[in-house]
Amino acid sequence: MKVLLTGASSGIGKDMAAILNKKGYDLVLVARSKERLETIKANLQRENPNGKIEIISIDLSIEENCKELCETVEDVDILINNAGFGDCGNFFETDLEKDMQMIKTNITAYHILTKEYLKKMQLKGKGKILNVASVAGFMPGPLMATYYATKAYVVRLSEAIREELKKEKSDVQISILCPGPVETNFGNAANVKFKLKEADSFKVAEYTIRHFEKGDFYIVPFLTTKLARVAAKIFPSNLVSRVVYQVQKSKLER
Residues identified as active-site: 147
3-state secondary structure the chain: CEEEEECCCCHHHHHHHHHHHHCCCEEEEEECCHHHHHHHHHHHHHHCCCCCEEEEECCCCCHHHHHHHHHHCCCCCEEEECCCCCCCCCCCCCCHHHHHHHHHHHHHHHHHHHHHHHHHHHHHCCCEEEEECCHHHHCCCCCCHHHHHHHHHHHHHHHHHHHHHHHCCCCCEEEEECCCCECCCHHHHHCECCCCCCECHHHHHHHHHHHHHHCCCEECCCHHHHHHHHHHHHCCHHHHHHHHHHHHHHHECC
